[in-house]
Structure 1
Amino acid sequence: MITSDSDLPPRLGNLTFHGPLSDARATRMIERLAAAEPADVLDIGCGWGELLLRVLENTPGAKGTGIDINAEDLARGRALAEERGLAERVAFVEESALGTDRGPVDAILCLGSSQALCDPDQPHDPAAALRELRRLVRPGGRVVLGEGFWERTPTDEELAGMWPGANAGDHLSLGSLVDLAIEAGFRPAWIETASSEEWEEFESGYRYDTEVWLAAHPDHPLAAETRERVDRQRSTWLNGYRRVLGITYLTLVAVG
């Protein structure tokens, strides 16, 4: 059977940000960042760059670069930039962030993407990621880092319900993470964490369009594969990391 694009399962169309981040929190983060009047902003693992575009809208004259390896998300970002009259001030580039030479800059966004700065053949190393972020930002510059942490130590049963191979060493406590940021050469100017409401908005929004599509297309050739995928994703949240895994948003200032 031949299917058109309109027949295919949708992808992330119901999300504003690719993470548990509300509009209200994003606005406050952007206001703090814009107050420093950065001239250049780098978004690592930018996706479609919604936060980057909002920073540029609130920082007249600033230019931005978003890097990611997902071509579909980058195309969405370029389209959004065009719609908002920002196409001349932002570039969306398909490339790896590992060892990037796109610094130093005045401000960096890295939300849920610090793994892009680490050796993919090694376990994720937040300390290495923070050292890279410090290398890429000028003294006095800002980094907004969105990073996972354990709200509490997960049980064996909860770990078994998470992603394949999940273990207690996959994340740190919030205190340990902030200590690493200080060791890397930052001062933690603002520390905040995603609320349960933000998590639920994200997790439901992540699957919403696909769930609606599955209800309308139960016999589609891609339905079984899609259903298995979203059911597995939902289970890892509900039976694994819900109220165990947290996300912190750290506004870090590079020590001069």
Structure 2
Amino acid sequence: MDHLRYFVIREGGRRLHNPLTSDQLAALGRTLRLEKGARVLDLASGSGELLCTWARDHGITGTGVDICPEFTDRADARALELGVDGLVRFVHGDASDYVADEPVDLACCLGASWIGGGAAGTAELLRRSLRPGGTVLLGEPFWRREPPDQRAVEACHAYDADGFPTLPELLAYFGELDYDVVGMTIADQQGWDRYKSAQWLSMRRHVTRHPDDGLAGLLRAELAAEPAEYARYEREYLGWGVFALMAR
């Protein structure tokens, strides 16, 4: 399967590729007390909403890196739409070994810590681009409630019950990595509902418009089963949040 194309289809026209709402993203920018001219690096930047809106609202400058050319194109278009194309730029490339040319004030990876082999590796990757005293921003999953069985674990895309920590365990883990947690924004169930249902709409529109697509059968099967599976498992057990960290 072409996993990248599959992901693009599911995400459709969404600007945020995670369960945060646009209001939460804006509030996060205010919480971080971003200053005009602050330099931001966003690895696996998706459609560029974080950099573009924070450039508009706070005057930050920044670079986003993403392996998906369609998302990079969307990010460029969004920057033009918001009039911040002179402040931010987007690079099509592999974020897993990207280091900024100059130290940045804030280094982000929201929901793609596979680029560093997990939270610890991704935090270290981001730290390579960070100025002393700068902030790392990670988006990570956690268990809202302990999963009752292996079926729940698999439905939440974890390898086993230990695949995700609980929220207290995750916060403690950041401390073990020698970071102070200086902020967090947690996705709520309404944000999850909007995020997942937007994916279902994108999938449905794609199979309607492209019934002979090689992915159509898989997408139809997921449309038939996923809403109930989501309500039964992900909605109840899977949490996700963005965590601001500063090295001790």
For the superposition of Structure 1 and Structure 2, which TM-score range results when normalised by the shorter chain?
Answer: 0.7 to 0.9
| Residue type of the alignment partner of 2:66 | D
Which residue of structure 2 aligns with residue 81 of structure 1? 79
1:16-35 Cα offsets, whole Å, 9 max, x none, are 31111112211110112343
Tell me how far apart the structure 2 counterparts of residues 247 and 131 of structure 1 sit (CA, whole Å).
Answer: 20
Residue of structure 2 aligned with 1:221, choices 180, 190, 212: 212
Q: TM-score, normalised by structure 2?
A: 0.83
Q: 1:104 to 1:176 in 2, by over 3 A?
A: farther
Which residue of structure 1 aligns with residue 230 of structure 2? 237
Q: CA deviation at 1:10?
A: 5.8
Q: TM-score, normalised by structure 1?
A: 0.81
Structure (1/2) with the larger helix percentage: 2
Task: Tell me the number of residue pairs that the alignment of Structure 1 and Structure 2 aligns.
Answer: 237
Q: CA deviation at 1:183?
A: 3.2
Q: CA deviation at 1:186?
A: 2.6
Structure-to-structure mapping, 1:1-256, within 5 angstroms: 12-37=11-36, 39-60=38-59, 62-102=60-100, 104-118=103-117, 125-156=118-149, 157-163=151-157, 166-212=159-205, 214=207, 216=208, 220-222=211-213, 223-231=216-224, 233-234=226-227, 237-255=230-248
Higher relative contact order (CA closer than 8 Å, sequence separation 6+): 1
Name the SS of the counterpart of 1:154 in structure 2: coil
Bigger Cα displacement from structure 2, 13-22 vs 224-233: 224-233
Q: Is the 8 A contact 2:123 2:138 kept in 1?
A: no
Unaligned runs of 5+ in 1: 1-8, 119-124
Q: Is the 8 A contact 2:145 2:237 kept in 1?
A: yes
Tell me how far apart the structure 2 counterparts of residues 225 and 129 of structure 1 sit (CA, whole Å).
Answer: 31
Tell me how far apart the structure 2 counterparts of residues 105 and 135 of structure 1 sit (CA, whole Å).
Answer: 10
Name the Cα RMSD after superposition: 2.6
Q: Is the 8 A contact 1:194 1:247 kept in 2?
A: yes
Q: Is the 8 A contact 1:126 1:177 kept in 2?
A: no
Q: Is the 8 A contact 2:35 2:58 kept in 1?
A: no
Q: CA deviation at 1:71?
A: 0.9
1:23-74 Cα offsets, whole Å, 9 max, x none, are 22111101123434452110011001101111111232x3211111111111
Tell me how far apart the structure 1 counterparts of residues 9 and 95 of structure 2 sit (CA, whole Å).
Answer: 27
| Residue type of the alignment partner of 1:32 | T
Q: Is the 8 A contact 1:10 1:213 kept in 2?
A: yes
1:152-207 Cα offsets, whole Å, 9 max, x none, are 221223124344x7311221121222223233343211233211111101111122
Q: Percent identity?
A: 29
Bigger Cα displacement from structure 2, 138-147 vs 242-251: 138-147
Unaligned runs of 5+ in 2: 1-7
Which residue of structure 1 aligns with residue 3 of structure 2? none
